[in-house]
Amino acid sequence: MLLDFEQPIAALEGKLQEMKKLAEESQVDVSEAVKALEEKIKTLKKETYANLTRWQRVQLSRHPDRPYTLDYIEGITDKFVELHGDRTVGDDKAMVGGFGEVDGRSIMFIGQQKGRNTKQRQLRNFGMANPEGYRKALRLMKMAEKFGRPIVTFIDTPGAFPGLEAEERGQGEAIARNLKEMFMLKVPVICIIIGEGASGGALGIAIGDRVMMLENTWYSVISPESCSSILWRSWNYKEQAAEALKLTATDMLQHKLIDGIIKEPLGGAHTEPEKMMRVLKKEINKLLDELEEIEPEERIMQRIEKFSAMGVVQEN
C-alpha cells in the first residue's frame, strides 16, 4: 500500500525497474544511469521522510503492513507463552500478554493487538480493549511483580472501546485502576508506543519508568479525525487538527512527556521489520539493564515524580 506522499518515490522506483529490465533484455550497459537513479531515490527518500507533516506521521503509524504487538513479541523473544483472561468476565482478544524470554531474561509482555484482515480485525476489535482487557493487563502485571519479572508494554490503539457494554462494565474504572497500580509496581516497567497511542486507551498500559515512542507513531488525548469532527463538525480538517495537537514523537519529547525516540528504518518499521525488531530488542535490553540497577523504592519515586511534573506551569 502506497501513501500519497510516497507516490514520487514509487514512480522513480518503477523507472529503475524498467531500466534494469531493459538492460537485461538488450544487453546495453546502463550501470551509470542505474547508479545515478538509485542515488536520486535514496536522496528523495531521506528528504521525504525527514520532512513529514504530523498528519503524514499519523498515516505511517497506521500503515497496514506495520508490525503489531504479537509480531514484535515473536521477533524479539526466544520463546513466548501467552496468558489469557481477567478471571472475572472473559478474555479480551484486543489485549494480549504473557511471559517471553529475551536473551535468557524472562519478561512480561503486554500490548494491544490489531488484525491484518477483516476477520482478525473483528476478533481483535480493531485493537480497542474492553474493561476486561485492562483488567487482564493488570492481572498479568501483578503476576510479573509477584515473580520479580520486568514488564514491557506495547501501545497501539485508536482508543479504549467506547461501546455501551464497555461503560456498563466499568471502562473508566478499569483504566483508572491501572494508572494507580502501575505507579506502584516494584519491578521495572517499559512502555513503548509502536503505532497509535490514543487517549486513555493508550494510557491504561503506559505508566512506566521509561516511556518510548517509535519514530513514526503518535500519542495524544484524541485522534486528529475526532478532534476535527468536534471543532469543525467535519473530518476534512484532520491535517490541521494533527498540527494543532502536536502528537508526534518529536513533539512528545520536546514537552518531556516521553523519555526517548526509537529510530525506525527509512520509510517506516514496515519496510524492514526484522531490522526494527533487532533495534527494539537492543533498546529493551539496554533500558532494563539501566532500570535493574535502581532500587525498587527509588524507581517508584522517580516514576511518580516524572508523571507528577507533567503539565505543571510555574509563573514568575
pLDDT above 80 for 182? yes
Sort strands 79-82 and 95-102 into parallel, antiparallel or unpaired: antiparallel
Q: CB under 8 Å to 75, separation ≥6 — which residues?
A: 67, 273, 274, 277, 281
Q: How far is CA 289 from the centre of its chain?
A: 22
Each residue's pLDDT tens digit, 39-54: 999 999 999 999 999 9
Residue with C-alpha cell 535468557? 104
- Residue 33 confidence (pLDDT): 83
Hey, how many other C-beta atoms are within 10 angstroms of the C-beta on 7?
10
Q: Is 5 exposed, middle or buried (0-12, 13-18, 19+ CB in 10 A)?
A: middle
Cα separation, 109 vs 70, whole angstroms: 10
pLDDT category at 22 given cuts 50, 70, 90 is: confident
Give the three-state DSSP class for 284: helix
Give the three-state DSSP class for 198: strand
pLDDT above 80 for 312? no
What are 74's three cell numbers? 515473536
pTM for the model: 0.93
What are 25's three cell numbers? 533484455
Each residue's pLDDT tens digit, 110-157: 999 999 999 999 999 999 999 999 999 999 999 999 999 999 999 999
What number is the average pLDDT over the span 208-234? 96
What number is the average pLDDT over the span 55-79? 96
Nearest residue to 90 (alpha-carbon basis) of 192, 166, 190, 184? 166
Cα separation, 190 vs 112, whole angstroms: 15
